[in-house]
Amino acid sequence: MRRTFSETLRHALYLAHRTAERARYLDALMDGQLAVTGFGELATQRYFIFKAFEESSALVRADPISGRFLFRELDRLAILGDDLAFYHGQDWRAKITPLPVTRTHCLRITELAQTWPAGYVAHYYVRYLGDLSGGQVFRSRMARHRGLTGAGIRFYEFADIPDVDAFRNRYHALLDAVAWDAAERGRVTQEAVQAFTLTNALFEALADRVLGPV
Ligand code: HEM
């Protein structure tokens, strides 16, 4: 049976997803070995990524096809600011810097918003839908192992999405019906793999910083 586009995307991301599941940083998070400050380092890097997404989103929203994939309910930037105040204090803006891999990822997101909105959607799908899905696992593990709830982990609260499964189904239906031809769908799929690869590179960089060398 032929795959729908959303199935093709998930299939193409399978290996990268397996790599993420085995990443040293996420392994430590899942096993309760990651300190709250170590988790804060992820929130910090994530801030720059979502800033790149949300500061360039107006360009993509203006695109009649790609714009339909951006949802205000998923916006994370303001919430991330609250989380960073928890980790770094009220002057958190003065205390944070992006890692080189984060800088590379941010540049790519901004470039895509300006030049190829469908490519931006590839990154948006990987990050926003990923955090909505698997991110819930991180939230429950940090609560269970480190008692982290509320401030510091608000990023994973999607207050405006009461039914996550229904939202994901709706998003998949949008992907399946998108007016991109086969070649464009192929390019978007490749870009989604790139987005995942950049995210996995961040986990590697964070493992070295937070957990030390292997
Ligand atoms: C320990 C690490 C991870 C776990 C346990 C995990 C878990 C999950 C789970 C349970 C799902 C839902 C599967 C389904 O119902 O079909 C999912 C989907 C997904 N995850 Fe992960 N995940 C992890 C890491 C990541 C990372 C790092 C990213 C982003 C780079 C990511 C991106 C995605 C995407 C894009 C989907 C599909 C969303 C959709 O189409 O609805 N995951 N993950």
Q: Which residues line ligand 1 (CB under 6 A)?
A: 10, 13, 17, 20-21, 26, 30, 126, 129-130, 133-134, 137, 168, 196, 199
32: pLDDT strictly greater than 90:
yes
* pLDDT digits 0-9 by tens, 141-169: 999 999 999 999 999 999 999 999 999 99
Q: Which residues contact 127 (CB under 8 A, 6 or more apart)?
A: 49, 50, 53, 195, 199
Q: Provide mean pLDDT across the span 74-86.
A: 97
What pLDDT sits at residue 37? 96
> Residue 132: left if φ>0, alpha if ψ -120 to 50, beta else—which one?
alpha
Q: What is the DSSP secondary-structure string of 28-73? A: HHHHT-S-HHHHHHHHHHHHHHHHHHHHSHHHHHTSTTGGGG--GG
Task: State which ligand 1 atom lies nearest to the alpha carbon of 27.
Answer: 1
Mean pLDDT of all residues belonging to the chain: 96
CB 29 within 8 A of CB 209: no
CA–CA gap between residue 188 and residue 210 (Å, rounded):
33
212: pLDDT strictly greater than 90:
no
5-14+23-210, CATH topology level: Heme Oxygenase; Chain A (1.20.910)
Domain ranges of the chain: 5-14+23-210
CB 132 within 8 A of CB 158: yes
What pLDDT sits at residue 125? 98
Residue nearest to atom 8 of ligand 1 (CA): 134
* pLDDT digits 0-9 by tens, 42-58: 999 999 999 999 999 99
Task: Please give the biggest Cα pair distance in the chain.
Answer: 55
Ligand 1 center to 126 CA (angstroms): 8
Residue nearest to atom 36 of ligand 1 (CA): 130
CB 179 within 8 A of CB 11: no
Distance of CA 59 to the CA centre of its chain: 19
Task: State which ligand 1 atom lies nearest to the alpha carbon of 203.
Answer: 27
* pLDDT digits 0-9 by tens, 90-123: 999 999 999 999 999 999 999 999 999 999 999 9
Ligand 1 center to 21 CA (angstroms): 9
